[in-house]
Structure 1
Amino acid sequence: MSGIYIHIPFCNKRCNYCNFYFSTNKKIIPAFITSLKKEIKFTSDKFSHLKFNTVYFGGGTPSLIADSDLKNILSELRNNFEISNDSEISIEVNPEDLNEDKLKIYIDSGINRLSIGVQSLKNQELKFLSRQHSSEETIE
């Protein structure tokens, strides 16, 4: 089993429990996406012998990037790597970022698994963790 991990290092704000690399400077997202697509092309030859059956978008908060950027990254991956037709394609999302339109875009893009950052269903704990949603919003 081979997988590709794409780190999207952008967040609205820092969660006090997180030790991952991130940035709140969304102005650099276009340059990041351009560099990421170049890196995908650059590394593809090194892995041409592999067939990938998982793609995982983590972060940060990958659901913060524009839908068009997500589609472009997936297209670049598919054009440069052999990705199984039945591959698992996952994205990390925050509960406050999900709605029916976003889910439709994910499905249309080939994403078939969500990792929803619930962290807790207790509002006091969510506040302590600096989360931007309430337990009620998560359940909704």
Structure 2
Amino acid sequence: MTAIGGVLSTSASSTTTLQVSTSGTVAPGGALNQNSFLQLLATQLQYQNPLQPTSNTQFIAQLAQFSSLEQMTNVATGETQLQSGLATINSNTQLATAFSIMGDTVSVQTGSGTTVSGIVTSVNTQSGAIMVTVGSQSYPLQTIVSVTKPGL
């Protein structure tokens, strides 16, 4: 038995080969997704040999694999969301730190190895990096080596 555009061919030796059309069953990048798995399972049920049906054990194993795939997908999605949230928290923490030192005297290590001291007059972002302005020059927040509060 052979199904064109679809799916299944069975030889006389009762070996079943599943051939999947790539229209709508393959995720971008060529990876099989959850819908692909369900379509394969439905097609397998549709074209199984009625004289030698697939055993319940095989179906349970396939459903367990599908469940594992779904859980791994959920974990990967959750991990991506967690990483995004942590990056946002980190950025907000750095921004709060920069604002908290406005008006303070800081020492900044420059790229050439010298140290510049002065009062932080403003805070801004440049290309995603948080910058503090000391005098007329902006420096990355990470280059600050010391902070002195006025009057302390």
Q: State the TM-score, normalizing by the size of structure 1.
A: 0.27
More helix as a share of residues = 1
Structure whose CA Rg is larger: 2
TM-score w.r.t. length of structure 2? 0.26
Higher relative contact order (CA 8 A, sep 6+): 1
